[in-house]
Amino acid sequence: MTSCVRAACLAFLVLSGAASANDASPAKAEADLKAVRAQMDKVRAEMQRDAGKRDQLTRELEETERTVGTARGSLDKLRRERAVHTARRAELADKRRAEEAALESDRDLLARQVRAAHLIGPQEPLKLLLNQKDPAQTGRMLEYYRYFGRSRAAQIEEIKRHLGELTSLDAALAEEEARLVALEERQKGELVKLTAARERRGRALVTLEAESKNRAKELERLKDQQGGLEKLVRELRRALERVEKFPTDSKDAFAKLRGKLSWPVAGKLSASFGQVRAGGVKWDGVLVAGSQGSPVRAVYHGRVVYADWLSGLGLLTIIDHGDGYLSLYGHNERLFKEVGERVTAGDTIATVGDSGGRSSPALYFEIRKGGRPVDPRPWFRSSAP
């Protein structure tokens, strides 16, 4: 895909030169130019489709991770609720055992009273009144019989109360048991959701990481990007040799601008020339973190020789300043200049973006002499943007 874009831009350069050198075939040049532009549009459409797929996968990953988080939260809440209900169930079970013990004690006491009453017999109080040998003793015995009757009635009421308590506790235990069963079912449902969400997340991650299975492949990808840019610059140089040279003179030659250029963008320097990046590859330029959509300006006048997408650098503009000097501007959000257009120092040629796979907006900037990268920082008036 990148080779198609490269070929299209190079063809544009060659066709532009051919048209200026040979005015006898403008129709053919126009037809060729339309064909090149059509091919570029086709490549851009393919890139947009690829970007759409990546965006869709990213949205699916976000949705899946949110689902996992929600399921985990629900599961934790269910576990806390179950712990509370389990404790309540244990408390009710203890109360039931206590009530059963009290009921058993009351039953034993009532049984003893019933046996005592049976031994005394139903005629004993009447015989006591008829004999009347000792009135004082008779009064005491009658009071005893009355107390005995009241105690027996109280024991019967206490037994009834215990039976009622047991009935209520049984109902409460049954209710708690039903709640626990319902919670168990809900917990199982949440576990199923969590498992499914994890599987979806895993599939999304596998899809997103398919392009880079391990660090070795990531290193190769970075080297390929670097090699692709080197090849592009070489091809641009060869193409420029076949077309009209960009005019320069001794008084404004780019080589004399060392220490005089303005930074192409305002921001914070986040990577320097020669600094080791991921995979051990060194930076061939500088990376300036900036605000999304802020202007990117040409550092000096020249002619645009490349303005399109390039793997690893996203939307890229390359300007030829003459005498073999090129300046490169990558990771842009938008490109404002087309191949063949002339620019002057300070012209807005693009806006800062995150194209080319960056996670945050930044501008990648290079200066090349004869196709080889040089440290751009000594070329600026200030050491930092």
Q: What confidence score (pLDDT) does residue 384 get?
A: 85
**172 three-class SS:** helix
Q: What is the largest CA-CA distance in the chain?
A: 160
Q: Is residue 346 a part of any domain in this protein?
A: yes
For residue 73, give the CATH number of its domain. 1.10.287.620
Does residue 289 carry a pLDDT above 70?
Answer: yes
Alpha-carbon distance 17 to 85, whole Å?
A: 84
Q: Do residues 188 and 306 both lie within one domain?
A: no
Report yes or no: 337 and 326 within 8 Å, Cβ to Cβ: no
Q: Do residues 278 and 338 both lie within one domain?
A: yes
- List residues bridging with 218 in a β-sheet: none
Q: Do residues 59 and 174 both lie within one domain?
A: yes
| pTM metric for this prediction | 0.44
Q: Which of 146, 155, 143 is nearest to 113 (CA)?
A: 155
Q: Do residues 334 and 204 both lie within one domain?
A: no
Q: Do residues 185 and 272 both lie within one domain?
A: no
Does residue 67 carry a pLDDT above 90?
Answer: no
Which structural domain, as residue segments, surrounds residue 134?
1-210
Q: Do residues 206 and 298 both lie within one domain?
A: no
What confidence tens digit (pLDDT) does each residue in 22-40 have?
A: 333 344 444 544 554 455 5
For residue 326, give the CATH number of its domain. 2.70.70.10
Number of domains in the chain: 2
Q: Do residues 206 and 262 both lie within one domain?
A: no
Q: Is residue 217 a part of any domain in this protein?
A: no
Q: Do residues 300 and 195 both lie within one domain?
A: no
Q: Do residues 268 and 151 both lie within one domain?
A: no
Alpha-carbon distance 227 to 313, whole Å?
A: 12
Q: Do residues 134 and 52 both lie within one domain?
A: yes
Q: Determine whether 318 is exposed, middle or buried from the number of CB atoms within 10 Å of its CB (0-12, 13-18, 19+).
A: buried
- What is the arithmetic mean of pLDDT over 247-261? 77
- What is the arithmetic mean of pLDDT over 283-310? 94
Q: Do residues 144 and 84 both lie within one domain?
A: yes
Does residue 2 carry a pLDDT above 60?
Answer: no
Q: Do residues 86 and 141 both lie within one domain?
A: yes
